[in-house]
A and B are shown apart, each in its own frame.
Chain A
């Protein structure tokens, strides 16, 4: 058979096999016309599509308007963070972490610092613990607010986006006042934070905590009992609790299916067990429950923030170990010994014992695990991130199959992915 005739036997649109690779499907011989309703259509959503929340490409096989098969393609935002981390000292990795999940940068900063501190056996100060809890809860709200706004836009409710983004702007301002940057916070250091809270910050945070419920109420007034919203979300993308566990879902997606799994409660860190809050779960596991769970989680985060502000102790924010923490600038100028420590820490980097450690926190999107391996030097030998979005995305095909094309957008929005972390 000549090459030309082989080409004729192959369909133009690539079909994808089980492994995601294109397979060549021969067309029917002349004269045989396939039945029209049996013809499946392949379409691409993305990678450059606002509803994919980044650069995600979904290849959908449609039967009419019903999705038969969905294959997510990732990697368009690949930045090789984990490999880059192997060429950076422990502290230099921190700027990489907040670029992964740029919707909740402080959580990633803190999680990485915690993993390394566990590796080195460092106990951070009480003040640092509470400050990090504040940071993490603030960014949980930060991420959920974005989620509500953009999901509402995807589904067609524009106003919510404007209201939630005004609130996000205030969190940006808090980031800016604390760390000097709006997204790329790089706020932690091994053994503490880059700086203490500036004066007036807690008051600004208190003001935010007091006034956010108004916006949440407004959002709920616009959405919760709105039949358009309910109709687009209810019974869409249902995943049962058992299935959700099998697919490894975590975070609000898992809790919406009725499984009360929250690392803050089940493997508490930073005295989370001494705060009063509720683990929020849903019942149906559909898009609507995921919305309700996230809205309620913001209120629970506000409760935690409120308690954290009240218990914020004084004292130093960094551990007092000159092998880890750079001396303050005033000491550095006046004290020769501090100067020597300073040069040693910067030139040699912080040393970690040859060991490995795993630390997982509850990020806004699910269980965020950080795994670091050290050979005793000042750089990680391996740094691995268990990203919640990556694993939540893997359950997307399971959720969308059998639904209509327009529901794909709602479901994809409802699982709350961030591509920076998926592609890493």
Chain B
């Protein structure tokens, strides 16, 4: 059978205080002379984020400065934590645009589903994690603030990368 059963047995003999302590010290000493330095001196040194990192949101912008969002209403529907507030509007050419678009980053769980469902690549989760604030109100990002973000966005659900879709 491919799946066997292995019984692990506790060692009966050869347990000791002295030898084990010496062995342990030898091992830690080896780590001391050949150190692998995992400690990062944050905030002086910042960790390198994976390209797929899901963090603070960013709204993509057209060349003329309008948000790409067409107020389709998909992201408020899918958001598992109900943190997107959208009031749709229509301009005189019949184009839909968001009158109010707010994301409460405090409630957000950074699942990225909003970006996953957005049909026009408007809302993105981005490679940023330093979004602490002093008041709760500041956590609600309005449209201007979302558009002003300038961190790179996640590589997930990027039309250029077939693996990420």
Indicate whether A and B interact: yes
Q: Is the CB of A95 within 8 A of B15?
A: no
Bound form: Cα–Cα A169–B39 in Å:
11
Verify A159–B80 contact, CB threshold 8 A: no
Main secondary structure of the interface of B (DSSP, over half): loop
| Interface members, chain B 13-39 (any A CB < 8 Å) | 14-17, 19-21, 23-24, 27-28, 31, 36, 38
**Shortest distance between the CB of A237 and any CB in chain B (Å):** 14
Q: List 18 A-B contacts (CB under 8 A).
A: A94-B111, A166-B38, A176-B52, A260-B5, A264-B3, A273-B3, A275-B3, A276-B2, A277-B2, A278-B5, A281-B5, A282-B7, A292-B9, A292-B10, A296-B6, A333-B159, A342-B119, A343-B72
Max chain A Cβ within 10 angstroms of own Cβ: one of B36, B51, B157: B157
Q: A93-B80, A186-B112, A197-B163 are in contact. List 14 more A-B contacts (CB 8 A).
A: A88-B80, A92-B80, A94-B111, A166-B38, A173-B50, A177-B51, A180-B50, A180-B52, A194-B116, A221-B24, A227-B20, A274-B2, A284-B10, A289-B8
**Contact of A177 with B16 at beta-carbon distance under 8 Å, contacts A92-B78, A329-B158 already known:** no
Q: A177-B50, A326-B116 are in contact. Are A226 and B5 (CB under 8 A)?
A: no
Q: How many whole Å from B18's CB to the nearest CB in chain A?
A: 9
Are the C-beta atoms of A279 and B5 separated by less than 8 Å? yes
Report Cα–Cα, A279/B8, bound state, in Å: 10
Residues in chain B within 8 A of chain A (CB atoms): 2-11, 14-17, 19-21, 23-24, 27-28, 31, 36, 38, 49-54, 72, 74, 77-78, 80, 109-113, 116-117, 119, 121, 125, 154-159, 162-165
Per the bound structure, the CA–CA distance linking A279 and B5 in Å amounts to: 5
Beyond A225-B15, A339-B119, whether A283 also contacts B165 by CB under 8 A is no
Chain A residues with Cβ under 8 A from B14's Cβ? 225
* A178 at the binding interface (Cβ < 8 Å): yes
Task: Contact check, A283 vs B2: say whether CB atoms are below 8 A apart.
Answer: no
**How far is B27's CA from A231's CA once the two chains are assembled, in angstroms?**
21
A203 to B24, CA, bound (A): 32
| Residue A199, interface by CB 8 Å | yes
Contacts of B72 in A (CB 8 A): 343
Report the separation of the CA atoms of residues A295 and B36 in the bound assembly, to the nearest whole angstrom.
23
Q: How far is the CB of B104 from chain A (nearest CB, A)?
A: 16
A149 to chain B, nearest CB (A): 14
With A184-B109, A326-B116, A346-B117 as contacts: A198 and B52 at CB distance below 8 Å: yes
One of A159, A225, A346 near B74 (C-beta < 8 A): A346
A202 to B105, CA, bound (A): 33
In contact, B121 and A282 (Cβ under 8 angstroms): no
What residues of B have a CB within 8 angstroms of the CB of A288 in the complex?
10
A interface residues, how many (CB within 8 angstroms):
72
The interface residues of chain B lying within 8 Å CB-to-CB of A343 are: 72, 74, 119
Using A180-B54, A180-B156 as known contacts, say yes or no to A289 and B24 having CB atoms under 8 A apart.
Answer: no
Distance in Å: Cβ of B25 to nearest Cβ of chain A: 10
CB contact under 8 A between A222 and B10, given known A278-B3, A346-B74: no
A230 CB within 8 Å of chain B: yes
Please name all residues of chain B whose beta carbon is closer than 8 Å to the beta carbon of A221 when the two chains form the complex: 23-24, 27
Q: Which of the residues A177, A224, A275, A279 comes within 8 Å of B6, measured between beta carbons?
A: A279
Q: Are B163 and A198 in contact (CB under 8 A)?
A: yes
Residue pair B117, A281 in contact (C-beta under 8 Å): no
- Give Cα distance in the complex from A330 to B119, angstroms: 10
**Most chain A Cβ neighbours within 10 Å, of B3, B20, B54, B164:** B3
CA distance A228 to B163 in the complex (A): 50
Complex Cα distance A229/B24, Å? 12
User: Is there a chain B Cβ closer than 8 Å to A234's Cβ?
Assistant: yes
Residues of A contacting B155 in the complex (Cβ-Cβ under 8 angstroms): 198
- Chain A contacts for B6, CB-based, 8 A: 278-281, 296, 300
Question: Cβ of A194 and Cβ of B16 under 8 Å apart?
Answer: no
Least distance between B88 CB and chain A CB atoms (Å): 14
| Among all A-B residue pairs, the 9 with the closest Cβ atoms | A226-B20, A328-B165, A180-B52, A278-B6, A180-B54, A292-B8, A92-B80, A176-B50, A329-B159
A281: B residues at CB distance < 8 A: 5-8
* Residues of the B chain whose Cβ atoms lie less than 8 Å from the Cβ of A96: 80
